[in-house]
A and B are shown apart, each in its own frame.
Chain A
């Protein structure tokens, strides 16, 4: 599995900050609450306007049926305001949570500013697989579309984490 640790975001093996952000309905959320004791796929996206994000998140919405029967979670963070995220989420048919950093409160602390976009000042497209306690299992830098985790890589990441945290995983 290709692993790249981006910017100043925590490297593999370290704890991801417990982001506190409003969700797509405007309700205050924390990342640990969103994880809810399960493995988490955390995706940072540029925003609704980006055709790459539209394509990638549609793919991710196709994976949500598996996540929900496999006791794992998905969260997407972008700089879109909650009401825009709510519309985007509805259009995608997504049932997972979107977190809004419209105030760019966490963006500089995570070192994930997309330098090339001087209009939107969005997140770099990055993705992390996290253990339930938010320890980073793997990270992907997705500036180039092919750098993003494929759905199969996300499945394998969730399998790795679930194997590690579910005490009754093995046959014996």
Chain B
């Protein structure tokens, strides 16, 4: 893959921003989430921590099961309210969490990614709509956050 398979997003536990000087922790997210016209006033459920030690290997079974649950029922549960979702890559090996962006926050209590890192809801105008992944395919190597990336 020649292009960088992720876009940078920064998070300090309170604010999501594209500003690299914000002091927030750097997350690598599916670049398509930032590629289209942003959806104003959406809700981002950030299942990640600002703590730099909060990471697990992508290949951990818990990570893969959360992604399988996303394909099986989380995406259908959100339905038309879903704006986009992305896992968070910290490098080519580590998972830092996931972000689900929706026009409606009422289902966030069921987020399967909150089993790994606790979820917190933020209003945001950063994210654009991305068609939900059809599945099934696991993350690609090289730090491409799911569902982005291709060979």
Contacts and interface: CB of A to CB of B under 8 A. Distances in A.
Interface of A: 23-27, 29, 33-34, 36-38, 64, 67-69, 71-75, 86, 90, 93-97, 166
Which 6 pairs show the lowest CB-CB distances between chains A and B? Answer: A68-B136, A97-B134, A95-B71, A37-B150, A34-B134, A95-B136
Nearest to B133: A36
A68 B68 CA distance: 9
Nearest to A38: B137
B138 A68 contact: yes
Contacts of B68: 68, 95
Contact of A71 (B73, B79, B80, B151): B151
Contact of A69 (B76, B134, B138): B138
Contacts, number: 60
Contacts of B132: 25, 27
B75 interface: yes
A68 B135 contact: yes
A73 to B, nearest CB: 7
B63 to A, nearest CB: 13
A73 B73 CA distance: 18
